[in-house]
Chain A
Amino acid sequence: MKFGKRLLSAILVLAMSLTFVLTGCSSEESQGSAAASGSTAQSGTEKAGKKLNVAILLNGTLGDKAFFDSAANGAKMMESELGCTTKVIEMTADETKWLPALTDASENPDYDIIIVGTWQMAEKLAQIAAQYPDKKYIIFDSSVDYKDGKCKNVYSIEYKQNECSYLAGVAGALSTKTGKIGFVGGMENTVINDFLVGYIQGAKAANPNIKVLTSYVGNFTDTAHAKELTLAQINQGADVVFQAASNAGLGVIDGCTAKGKFVIGVDSDQALAFQSSDPAKANAVLTSALKRVDISITKAVKEAQAGTLKFGEAETLGLADNCVGLGTYNKGVSKDVQDKVTEFAEKIKSGSIKVDTAFGKSTSEIEAVKKSVRP
């Protein structure tokens, strides 16, 4: 009882002192930023060449072996290559924390550039960017709404996932022995179909007679159903399956591993992700189609440091910018196949091959693409 009371009073004292400290800080900060925001406005152009201070706010946590880890890697690249000061802030998956964290970062006069990612942040960023017109923001894998001259201080990065999936299609079509390859998507939406359209085009370029089996899980979580779809495709003759199904994709990897077939990973290098915990799965990964968040944000910050970054615009980055591509190859992929893929990659970079996109395509047009390779 006595101990309980003592503990309670200790907690109360702690809470009180914390409140003082925090309120003290925040009032100081807001004064500071009021003064500083004026100066950053003028120094925006003067600052060209100065080492920038970058804050990266992740609306999740590190350890996802994909997007967010890649962004954190970008922070390291900025420090070593550009001499920036960086701070990576994990806002966690708790959506109620995102807006306050973004506001706090915007209030902080030390940060020159604030980076956020994913479509879930786009609307929140547009709101905050309007309140802090002197701050500079970068958003990756999504774009803010630039209509009516809004978001002049935001630069958006989108990725050409159809280009990396084109190469995945080339690698798949050159590796198959049955002439049939598979695609398992999460839900049928435009981004997933963008992967599909590129994949089919790439596969056809490498082998005009290729057959592609297409299935959708219907969500991004049902691993068992994804595995079932993969096994069905394997039963129908597919021996390389490309997955674009986020978490459900684990089922695709599992199905291919169980049947001794190849799987093509997505977003992160899935061979590396499984290397230590499950070598059998790592060995089933042919290669992975990657979005390089790290390279793209480092490139953007580099341009910002030079004063050439086009704020107020969205840019779609692809192979030519090294911002999408393939990951490490399986040991079973011959040098010839790798060279062939590199050859196609060069053609895309030079512009002699134009990769189709699902954006702006109607449902029937996409159906036609699928039909052209149906067995």
Chain B
Amino acid sequence: MNTVMATIFSASFLFSVIRLTTPILLAALAALITDRAGVMNIGLEGIMLCSALAGVVGSAAFHSAFLGLVFAMVTGVVLGLVMAYSALNLKADIILVGIAINLMASGGTIFILYSICGDKGNSTSLKSLTMPSVNIPLIQNIPVLGNIISGHNLLTYIAFLSVFLIWLLLYKTPLGLRIRVVGENPNAAESVGINVRKIQYTVLVISGILASIGGAYMSMGYMDKFSRDMVAGRGFIALAAEALGTGTPVGIMGSSLIFGAADALATNLQVLDIPVQFVQMIPYALTIVGLIVYSISRNKKEKKIGISK
């Protein structure tokens, strides 16, 4: 028991929390930006999976990890545009479009993987590259903190930087204001001359970029290969983290860290006497608790608005 406690309160545990949080945080930010403009992007899982493969293929083809990341982001943008075109121009239900993207990604990535590598399981035969890890000067020399904060993958820092950038975008720019207005009341937005469709196109593209960085992190940071269905539900956990984060970038960073910590806890508790099945349940049970807390707080808020009306 003591050894486990020592493990949990160690620098390496907190380091792994940040590592586990990264993909969830990026995808949750992707969910946030669309949600604020009144579109529900449920296809995050699929976008992540496709761009995870695109990153590996791109980096192997161009012999550059950076170009691999760009290729992954292009994939994310294209998928975002596909979603926007189907949902906004062709008037398909956005939830169904998202589900279609997820199904297409699961089968499609295996198909593409097989046609490139001749292997349906993973990209072992491709010489793909990974994004570099970064040691932050000065901070890396601080005893405990340096071991926790420094030495992560570049994409991890991009993820936490994105929290700030998205906050800046939403609250400090005209575009952010329009996004929020469209999300609150699209009819009112239209009446004052905001092009609702253009705004929603924009957020789906931004969402695609964020999710694709999350996907690229899976195959070019966390792991160094692509393997089938490697995103493994993180796109959906991100949706829960977004709901739990009360719609603000900082709130979402907090909720993503909670999910990351739960995941790290589940990993480290496996060696204890607790049944494996119980430990594996922790992140998911937490998701349900989080959603309940969120819906209670939202109900209260709505009641308040109802009274003021």
Q: Which residues of A contact B (CB under 8 A)?
A: 60-61, 63-65, 93, 188, 213-216, 218-219, 221-225, 227-229, 231-233, 235-236, 246-248, 250-251, 254, 273-274, 277-278, 371, 374-375
Contact = CB atoms under 8 A, between A and B. Distances in A.
B7 A235 contact: yes
B264 interface: yes
Contact of B271 (A214, A227, A248): A214
Contacts of A277: 124-127
Q: Which of B125, B127, B218, B267 has the most chain A CB within a 10 Å cutoff? A: B267
Q: Which residue, B7, B118, B270, has most C-beta atoms of chain A within 10 A?
A: B270
A250 B271 CA distance: 21
Interface string B102-127: 00000000000010001111101111
Interface stretch (B61-69, B80-88, B143-151, B222-230): B222-230
B32 interface: no
Given A221-B229, A232-B16, A250-B225, A215 B270 contact: yes
Contact of A222 (B3, B224, B230, B264): B230
29 contacts: A60-B120, A64-B120, A64-B121, A65-B124, A93-B120, A188-B276, A188-B277, A214-B270, A215-B270, A216-B276, A223-B122, A224-B218, A224-B230, A224-B232, A227-B222, A232-B267, A232-B268, A233-B271, A235-B12, A247-B122, A247-B227, A247-B228, A250-B227, A254-B223, A273-B124, A277-B124, A277-B126, A371-B273, A374-B273
Given A236-B3, A277-B124, A277-B125, A228 B271 contact: no
B20 interface: yes
Contacts of B127: 277-278
B224 A254 contact: yes
A214 B118 CA distance: 33
Contact of A228 (B20, B119, B273): B20
B223 A221 contact: no
Contacts of A254: 223-225
A221 B119 CA distance: 15
A375 B20 contact: no
- Per CB-CB distance, the 8 closest pairs between chain A and chain B, nearest first, are A222-B232, A221-B229, A215-B270, A63-B118, A247-B121, A232-B267, A224-B222, A223-B227
B280 A227 contact: no
B243 to A, nearest CB: 23
A216 B281 CA distance: 12
A216 B270 CA distance: 8
B276 A221 contact: no
Given A231-B16, A236-B7, A371-B273, A250 B223 contact: yes
A274 B124 contact: yes
Interface of B: 3, 7, 10, 12-13, 16, 19-20, 23, 114, 118-122, 124-127, 218, 222-225, 227-230, 232, 263-264, 267-268, 270-271, 273, 276-277, 280
Given A221-B232, A222-B232, A236-B3, A228 B121 contact: no
A213 B280 contact: no
A268 to B, nearest CB: 11
A219 B122 CA distance: 15
A220 B277 CA distance: 15
Contacts of B121: 64, 246-247
Contacts of B225: 223, 250, 254
Contacts of A232: 7, 16, 267-268, 270-271
Nearest to B221: A224
B229 A229 contact: no
Nearest to B118: A63
A225 B118 contact: no
B120 A61 contact: yes
Nearest to B264: A228
Nearest to A63: B118
Given A247-B228, A274-B124, A236 B271 contact: yes
A214 to B, nearest CB: 7
Contact of B124 (A219, A231, A248, A278): A278
B277 A228 contact: no
A221 B120 contact: no
B223 A223 contact: yes
A65 B277 CA distance: 31
Nearest to B230: A223
Contacts of A233: 271
B119 A225 contact: no
Nearest to A371: B273
Contact of A225 (B3, B126, B267): B267
B119 A64 contact: yes
Contacts of A224: 23, 218, 222-223, 230, 232
Given A216-B276, A278-B124, 14 more contacts: A64-B119, A65-B119, A215-B270, A222-B229, A223-B122, A225-B263, A228-B19, A229-B270, A233-B271, A235-B12, A247-B122, A250-B223, A251-B223, A375-B3
A231 B268 CA distance: 10
Contacts of A61: 114, 118, 120
Contacts of A222: 229-230, 232
Nearest to A225: B232
A175 B263 CA distance: 31
A248 B232 CA distance: 11
Nearest to B229: A221
Contacts of A246: 121
Contacts of B7: 232, 235-236
B255 to A, nearest CB: 20
A286 to B, nearest CB: 18
B142 to A, nearest CB: 21
